[in-house]
Structure 1
Amino acid sequence: MKNRLILLLAVSAITAGSAQAQTTTTTSTHDANPGGIYIKGGYNLANISKYNDGSVDAAKGLSTFHAGGVVDIPIAPVLSLQPGLLLTGKGAKANYYVDPNNHSDNYVKSSFNPLYLELPVNLLLKFPIGNDARIFAGAGPYAAMGIGGKSKTEVSTGGVVTSTSHDIKFNNDNPLTPEEEGARYDRLKKFDFGINALAGVEFNRFLVGVNYGWGLEKINSTQTNNTQNGNNKYRTLSVSLGVRLN
């Protein structure tokens, strides 16, 4: 009986110690990389590549926005998979002045601001920097579907200003076929694909991040994509603020 009691106490102690170690490990992992659902939004500086090497004309950057959510799924204490769904603005602007020294009259200002539902899937490395704080960096692909937007033009001649605005239209492409169904010169491709690179800081329940979206698809529906020709593709720099819901 005494031996059985000793054995029972030993087993109980081992079980309790094992459970405590597991709890400690889980808590440590959670503290290092808690994961969760983030609501985020912020500023986009959108542009469209102008040159064959994929670079842009900085003067054509358009201010727009993004908003949505991401799900941070911890894979390891320093690694997360982060899919999301965002409403994001892309595009560019162009300004022409008859007199470069006079921006108040005799000009043409145009902006092109399509809106997309974007699905990014990024892989993030995270490094603790303090109590419930981490820096992160990562990359991954995105796919986006055009849903609307506006193109606007403002013309000033001799003090008379006229403005026009048009809805942006997309073709009715089926992404499962190689053709661009509904391609027209006044239509954009409905789907865009590209690569994200991002970095930032998480602290407590908040995040601050920077993302660069490098589009891989020419945007006009009548254009054949050419990986050796990098012009006419989206380039979007984003700055985000987010809060974790759980």
Structure 2
Amino acid sequence: MIRKLLLTVVFGTLSAIAMAQTITTHVVQRGETAESIATLYSITTEQLFKANPGAEDLFYVGLKLNIPEKKVAQKQPTATTVVPIQTDSASNTSKNAVVQSSNKPMLQSTKTSRREKSNLNIKAIAGVTFGTWVGKDFKDGKVTDDNEYSSTETKNKANYQFHIGAITDYYFTKNLYTGLGIVFNKTGYKQSTFATSGQYWVDEGSNYDMSENVTMSVSKLDIPIHIGGTYNISQDSRLFIEVGPYLSFALNGSKKRKGEHTYYEDGHSSSTEHISEKEKLDEGSLKDYNKFGYGLSVTAGISFKHFILQCTYQRELNKTIKKKKEYEQNILLSLGYEF
């Protein structure tokens, strides 16, 4: 009986599973956490951090992790154990129970680590453009003539349009990158003007009142070039800022004028002329419009996982109209998605 028990113990010991360990690498991607990576490979976060010293304190996008995976040895034959049972004193016969224990090896999960994240990052953006013009020859305010009666008052307003485009960034370090994009941008300005000769009646027919509204709209193709930096707020969110030049080309555009001019022939009679005109680029007052432009832009924003909210300020450096100190200025408020 003792001999049988010894044989059983030895045989059971030889049937133990020999465990081996292999290492799989995984590069942390945007939106992933230590918990999600551990779940992906069916391990615990303790095992993950044990295999990667320091990762618990410094966990960032692009970090290369070692993933421990359990590998099971080949299946061992089934061992049979004989367990003695009490002897029946009446019949003086012994009964033995045969118990089989099946040592089934664990099946190893064959998982391939995700492809290492490229240094290239592509994002699509779309949003609202607040367009206006600035400069010495494009000002707000009220101007009074020398006679202190006639005056002209001008108010400039933003023209609300839209933009849509795609931008590619190349990360040459963890937090620094450079980028190039192409954006369709519709911009322009709105301007209202009121002019009057006042109550200064000298010459008949020389007195007037005039009100006019101008809407300028231009469709452009912008090519922004920038260098940027990021600051990680958490594993899922980060701040970023970009600065650089941009090039632009006007595809088409128009200038609409609507209003009315009232002329006073004398102190008792008047005539009113209604105005509704439209000029295209290279026509009339837009004949000297510069289709090619360049300027500087600054962008600041925040991203959460793959979603982006950003604000861009554009300031044109070349004159919008030749021989006039008028410059285009835009604010672009964008929503985007990173691929």
TM-score calculated relative to the size of structure 1:
0.69
Are 1:241 and 2:241 matched, yes or no? no
1:72 Cα deviation after fit: 2.2
1:139 Cα deviation after fit: 0.2
Tell me which amino acid in the other structure corresponds to 1:241. L
2:290 is matched with: 189
1:64 is matched with: 161
Question: 1:69/1:98 Cα in 2 relative to 1: closer, same or farther (>3 Å)?
Answer: same
Q: Tell me, in whole angstroms, the C-alpha distance in 2 between the residues paired with 1:157 and 1:48.
A: 25
1:197 Cα deviation after fit: 0.7
Question: 1:26/1:240 Cα in 2 relative to 1: closer, same or farther (>3 Å)?
Answer: closer
2:301 is matched with: 200
Tell me which amino acid in the other structure corresponds to 2:127. G
Q: Tell me, in whole angstroms, the C-alpha distance in 2 between the residues paired with 1:132 and 1:33.
A: 18
CA contact (8 A) 1:33 1:77 kept: no
Residue 130 of structure 1 aligns to a residue whose secondary structure is: coil
CA contact (8 A) 2:279 2:286 kept: no
Q: Tell me, in whole angstroms, the C-alpha distance in 2 between the residues paired with 1:190 and 1:86.
A: 16
Whose Rg is larger?
A: 2
1:168 is matched with: 281
CA contact (8 A) 2:233 2:239 kept: yes
Q: Tell me, in whole angstroms, the C-alpha distance in 2 between the residues paired with 1:68 and 1:56.
A: 31
Tell me which amino acid in the other structure corresponds to 1:215. E
Q: Tell me, in whole angstroms, the C-alpha distance in 2 between the residues paired with 1:208 and 1:160.
A: 47
1:24 Cα deviation after fit: 4.6
Residue by residue, what CA displacement relative to the aligned partner does 1:78-125 show, whole Å, maximum 9, x if unpaired? 1121211011123222102469xxxxxx73110112221110011111
Residue by residue, what CA displacement relative to the aligned partner does 1:161-199 show, whole Å, maximum 9, x if unpaired? 6533232239xxxxxxxxxxxxx9613112101111110
CA contact (8 A) 1:47 1:56 kept: no
Tell me which amino acid in the other structure corresponds to 2:222. E
Work out the percentage of aligned pairs sharing the same amino acid: 19
CA contact (8 A) 2:310 2:335 kept: yes
1:236 Cα deviation after fit: 0.9
RMSD: 3.4
Larger CA deviation: 120-129 vs 27-36: 27-36
Q: Tell me, in whole angstroms, the C-alpha distance in 1 between the residues paired with 2:248 and 2:329.
A: 13
Question: 1:120/1:130 Cα in 2 relative to 1: closer, same or farther (>3 Å)?
Answer: same
For structure 1, the 5+ residue unaligned runs are 1-12, 100-105, 171-183, 225-230
